[in-house]
Structure 1
Amino acid sequence: MLADTGLTRPETAPEVPSPPAWSQRIAALGNRFYTELPPSPAPAPHWVARSEACAQTLGWAADWWQQPGALEVVSGNALWPGMRPLASVYSGHQFGVWAGQLGDGRALSLGETMTPQGLWDVQLKGAGLTPYSRMGDGRAVLRSSIREFLCSEAMHALGIPTTRALCITGSHLGVRREEMETAAIVTRVAPSFLRFGHFEHFAHIANDDQHAALRELADFMIQHHAPECLAAENPNLALLEKVARQTAELMAAWQSVGFCHGVMNTDNMSMLGLTLDYGPFGFLDAFDPGHVCNHSDNQGRYAYARQPNVAFWNLHALAQAMLPLLNDLNDGSEAAIAALEPYKTVFPEALMRRMRAKLGLATELDADRALVDDLLRLMAAARADFTITFRRLSRFDADDEASRRAVRDLFLDRDAFDAWALRYQDRLAQERSVPAERHARMLATNPAVVLRNHLAEQAIRQARDGDFSEVERLLKVLASPYDEPAVAADAAFPPDWAQHLEVSCSS
């Protein structure tokens, strides 16, 4: 039954000015790729938060959420005309182990809508059971929904490729995790939610017909999301190389802001190089290369320092899945491996480019890598706060004792830092760096605010009591991460109690 809203059936929901039309291109591939089904209604839904920035990206009016039926649509209780909800099937490796068939266990694509950037897919996450829910209930809880909503928009504001989040709605519907919690639904959007796991799924079903489906999927991906590959001698190899390069750039972006994904399974890797599926994640507080943000990751597979290598491992899994598409080559395996080779150069080059920017370096020297590595070693030894260290370095001036002391005080071995600072000072002198100009560049590169766990936790605790004002406030702060926040605590060291926060796969 639908909630009592006057919308007795999805098909009769009133039409609204935006979005004007819906499509579902993947439906043309046939039902091997998805299951069509309606979302499960959420009783008595209410608004939790909305992102005006995301609505603007979609080209939607600022008051879209006030249109008749909007709350019901994004809560799974109704559909706008033209929507065709479906859950897609995929497979994947989870924690390095083949997990077999997975799929959208609690997500439903409502359809694609035209935006200024082209067609974008609009999904409900937490919309109820699908054929791919396995042992799950198809729901998401308020806690994890707030974290995904805030981090999606925070990553976008940091300039890191990501899926976006339009809004969250909540319901009094009870959902059991470690304890009883209440349900919520995130409306998330992206040009595509295609994953490495989509290709793995059809590659691992060993019959010619399913390999035909694999070819259809690759053709679909290239036609709609990588048309430049059509001009290549082998479009599928070109696609693989494109994904490798995009993934390398994404990993460099993550590492440069201290972001830890937590569940880098192949089914959570985007074919578009987007940050996808915010389950357990975290931004580094004290710098620890071995930090594991996911309490469920007992082996530390997805530790911060391991993320670039894990991404490369995942790319090999994708390459393996695409081998049936390379039968026309003399040695498809060798060609696939060669297509991944750019990752080995793109990632370190992209990371060094970002790290030079974080240090305010406008030119490139071979010695810069050692300068960066030695700073990170000092930070690790001192467990210096990742975000605060680089933010304070943004104001570092050898001739200003206060700015120098602000950074120096973060390190246990002051003499070692002084030695590094002399090298840094010499490096800046080599390119005749102008302090005021350098400071401006660095302050626009090193964020003052990231979504630390304790900031999200404070918003979640208030939201559980029905007060969503902290979610809204924090969203605004995270939208301008390079500005000094009005509330100093947003950019301060985490409180002691934050050390005991844990995030896991339970959401």
Structure 2
Amino acid sequence: MFHNHDSILVQEYASLGAPYLAEVPATPLRTEAGLVHLNKTLTNEIGLNAEQLASSPGIDFLSGNAPFPDYKSRASVYCGHQFGVFVPQLGDGRALLVAEVRKGKQYRQLQLKGAGPTPYSRHADGRAVLRSSIREYLASEAMHALGIPTTRALSLTASADPVFRETTETAAVVCRVSESFMRFGHVEFFCYTNQLDALRNLLTWHIEQHHPEIDLGETEASFHKGLLQWLGVVIERTAKMVAQWQAVGFCHGVMNTDNMSLLGLTIDYGPYGFIDGFDIDHICNHSDHQGRYSYRNQPRIAHWNLYALAQALSPLIPDSKETLQNLLDGFADAFHAEHSALFAQKLGLAKTQGDAVDGLIETTLKFMHEHTLDFTRFFRSLSALDPQISAAENFALWQRSDFFPLALGNEQQVTNAHAWLAQWLAMSNKASENAEEWRTRLDHINPAFVLRNHLLQHAIEQAQKGEFSEVNRLFTALSDPYNAAQLPAEYTAQPPDWAKSLVLSCSS
């Protein structure tokens, strides 16, 4: 039931058992659960049956009201550094592993978020509210459509069950999908509780499962070598992921080590946000009083978190301090290479120009920051330009773009825009392709749509009244974010002034 003929249900991670996982049943909702949205594309992709999942028994499973056939749900234990402070035990406080599916070589875990308390809930109710569940469900798929590594979202169910936060809200459950939900915090937990054999076994399973190219061998020396090779992969993937965040103006908001994926995936969408008016120091999380997780700081914090991971690995790799340091030093190069390549593409420039490109990227971001230009609209508007004509002619072209980001009444802004255009033209590769090909290429790099907070807020307010059409409408738009023709005008417009006053916190 629930799966297609080309997939099988497995118990691979579940078979690890204690001390990694605790069996705990989901807590049924007291009122009837309804299916708000089912991601049919993902359903088919991982080998499940959309029609069965949308049936009454399927909704029971997706909401935690009934278990997946022949599978005992489980929660995993981990710890982490939260806002830089070590917290010795965390874990899946409201997330339950409820199924594992294998389709050929593809393996996926299904996890319900908001299906009730676990041994790691720390006296909380284990529930998630509709507001935050809509945000996570849509963000997961928005990031995927932008080509950024992320956990995915299979379904969103909701009920009238009350959930008490700052106010009384209603319950919802997201079914998340990933190859793995393991975090830096898993490694930290088994290190700092001195369960080093358990840590070794867990990492051996994880690496053999997700990195078959790494040979851990039969000896201590080969194990150490494999572990270092794996850490190098984690460092590189994390660096590239954060560079991709920066390139779309995405702020995660809570980059604690327990929210960092060992597979380099974006995980745990809480008070995230896509930047509207560009501010290099933008903070999307109202709870982040020191700006630890600001847009500017995301690369530095990712590097800090990798240090914490390496520290927790070090007991398994004796005499490795220098090697670990060398690996960690590679983060900056990996991040810089990806960041430069991505922003060069966004500007329509050849990557081979090296330091000169980096200079223009820095100039561009300073120009955007100085005038608080809309991040998404600025880059999308660049396809209106033509590298083969003058700056003055380009400015006239630019004004005709539906995404023109400037305020023409601001003389300083216009003056600086002309200066920026001249620098950009001096760098652009005029002979590489015709203008139409160049524009098409740029429009496949710079999205016309990102999941802005004011659009989410409108969908949430509608959903809280029992009207879910805006959730569906947003899902359609975010699934094809580069195609401006299919987007409602209000989805690509300059955000309204009231959007600046939206406040997001960790409460969900």
If the TM-score is normalised by the length of the shorter chain, which range does it land in?
over 0.9
- Which residue in 1 is equivalent to 2:365? 376
- Which residue in 1 is equivalent to 2:29? 42
CA distance in 1, matches of 2:489, 2:103: 37
- Which residue in 2 is equivalent to 1:445? 445
* Post-superposition offset of 1:244: 0.1
**Root-mean-square deviation (Å):** 1.7
- Which residue in 2 is equivalent to 1:281? 272
CA distance in 2, matches of 1:54, 1:21: 16
The DSSP-based 3-state class of the residue aligned with 2:268 is: coil
CA distance in 1, matches of 2:2, 2:270: 32
CA distance in 2, matches of 1:487, 1:433: 31
* Post-superposition offset of 1:200: 0.3
* Post-superposition offset of 1:420: 1.7
CA distance in 2, matches of 1:35, 1:188: 19
Residue 311 of structure 2 is aligned to residue 320 of structure 1 = yes
The DSSP-based 3-state class of the residue aligned with 1:471 is: helix
What do the CA deviations read for 1:318-337 (whole angstroms, capped 9, x no partner)?
Answer: 0000011102xxx2122212
- Which residue in 2 is equivalent to 1:54? 42
- Which residue in 2 is equivalent to 1:403? 397
The code of the aligned residue for 1:389 comes to F
The DSSP-based 3-state class of the residue aligned with 2:428 is: helix
* Post-superposition offset of 1:315: 0.2
Using a 3 Å threshold, how does the CA distance of structure 1 residues 311 and 363 change in structure 2: closer, same or farther? Answer: closer
Structure 2, unmatched stretches of 5+, are none
* Post-superposition offset of 1:115: 3.2
Residue 151 of structure 2 is aligned with which of 159, 163, 187?
163
Residue 458 of structure 2 is aligned to residue 464 of structure 1 = no
The DSSP-based 3-state class of the residue aligned with 1:341 is: helix
Mapped contact 1:408–1:414 kept (Cα < 8 A): no
Instruction: Output the TM-score relative to the length of structure 1.
Output: 0.93
CA distance in 2, matches of 1:199, 1:97: 16
The DSSP-based 3-state class of the residue aligned with 1:227 is: coil
- Segment of structure 1 superposing worse, 106-115 or 228-237: 228-237
Using a 3 Å threshold, how does the CA distance of structure 1 residues 215 and 489 change in structure 2: closer, same or farther? Answer: same
CA distance in 1, matches of 2:45, 2:36: 20
Structure 1, unmatched stretches of 5+, are 1-14
Using a 3 Å threshold, how does the CA distance of structure 1 residues 16 and 59 change in structure 2: closer, same or farther? Answer: closer
* Post-superposition offset of 1:135: 3.2
What do the CA deviations read for 1:163-221 (whole angstroms, capped 9, x no partner)?
Answer: 00001101111001110000000000000001000000000013xxx110110111011
- Segment of structure 1 superposing worse, 225-234 or 462-471: 225-234
* Post-superposition offset of 1:442: 0.6
What do the CA deviations read for 1:293-342 (whole angstroms, capped 9, x no partner)?
Answer: 00011111000010000000000000000011102xxx212221222232
Using a 3 Å threshold, how does the CA distance of structure 1 residues 355 and 25 change in structure 2: closer, same or farther? Answer: same
CA distance in 1, matches of 2:405, 2:470: 34
- Which residue in 2 is equivalent to 1:30? 17
Mapped contact 1:42–1:76 kept (Cα < 8 A): yes
CA distance in 1, matches of 2:242, 2:405: 29
Mapped contact 1:16–1:68 kept (Cα < 8 A): no
- Segment of structure 1 superposing worse, 220-229 or 50-59: 50-59
CA distance in 2, matches of 1:433, 1:409: 27
- Which residue in 2 is equivalent to 1:8? none
What do the CA deviations read for 1:195-250 (whole angstroms, capped 9, x no partner)?
Answer: 000000000013xxx11011011101111011212168511111111100000110
CA distance in 1, matches of 2:383, 2:105: 34
Using a 3 Å threshold, how does the CA distance of structure 1 residues 425 and 27 change in structure 2: closer, same or farther? Answer: same
* Post-superposition offset of 1:461: 0.6
* Post-superposition offset of 1:363: 4.3
What do the CA deviations read for 1:79-125 (whole angstroms, capped 9, x no partner)?
Answer: 23222210000000000110110000000001211135611000000
- Which residue in 2 is equivalent to 1:69? 57
The DSSP-based 3-state class of the residue aligned with 1:165 is: strand
Residue 289 of structure 2 is aligned to residue 298 of structure 1 = yes
Residue 224 of structure 2 is aligned to residue 237 of structure 1 = no
CA distance in 2, matches of 1:486, 1:347: 32
Using a 3 Å threshold, how does the CA distance of structure 1 residues 325 and 377 change in structure 2: closer, same or farther? Answer: same
The code of the aligned residue for 1:40 comes to T
Mapped contact 1:202–1:213 kept (Cα < 8 A): yes
Regions of 4+ moved over 6 Å: none
Using a 3 Å threshold, how does the CA distance of structure 1 residues 29 and 446 change in structure 2: closer, same or farther? Answer: same
Residue 375 of structure 2 is aligned to residue 386 of structure 1 = yes
Residue 137 of structure 2 is aligned to residue 149 of structure 1 = yes
CA distance in 2, matches of 1:416, 1:117: 53
- Which residue in 2 is equivalent to 1:4? none
- Which residue in 1 is equivalent to 2:175? 187
* Post-superposition offset of 1:487: 1.2
Mapped contact 2:26–2:67 kept (Cα < 8 A): no
Residue 358 of structure 1 is aligned with which of 323, 340, 346?
346
- Which residue in 1 is equivalent to 2:503? 502
Mapped contact 2:381–2:405 kept (Cα < 8 A): no
The code of the aligned residue for 1:212 comes to D
- Which residue in 1 is equivalent to 2:237? 246
The code of the aligned residue for 1:496 comes to D
* Post-superposition offset of 1:29: 2.7
Mapped contact 1:18–1:64 kept (Cα < 8 A): no
What do the CA deviations read for 1:254-289 (whole angstroms, capped 9, x no partner)?
Answer: 000000000000000000000000011000000001
Mapped contact 2:455–2:491 kept (Cα < 8 A): yes
Mapped contact 1:295–1:504 kept (Cα < 8 A): yes
Paired residues in the alignment total 487
CA distance in 2, matches of 1:363, 1:500: 38
What do the CA deviations read for 1:112-163 (whole angstroms, capped 9, x no partner)?
Answer: 1113561100000001000100132100000000000000000000000000
CA distance in 2, matches of 1:181, 1:153: 24
CA distance in 2, matches of 1:363, 1:266: 33
CA distance in 1, matches of 2:197, 2:398: 62
What do the CA deviations read for 1:355-410 (whole angstroms, capped 9, x no partner)?
Answer: 11101123420201111110110000000000000011122234455423354735
The DSSP-based 3-state class of the residue aligned with 1:230 is: coil
Residue 490 of structure 2 is aligned to residue 489 of structure 1 = yes
- Which residue in 2 is equivalent to 1:174? 162
- Which residue in 2 is equivalent to 1:7? none
* Post-superposition offset of 1:17: 4.6
CA distance in 2, matches of 1:352, 1:149: 30
Mapped contact 1:35–1:86 kept (Cα < 8 A): yes
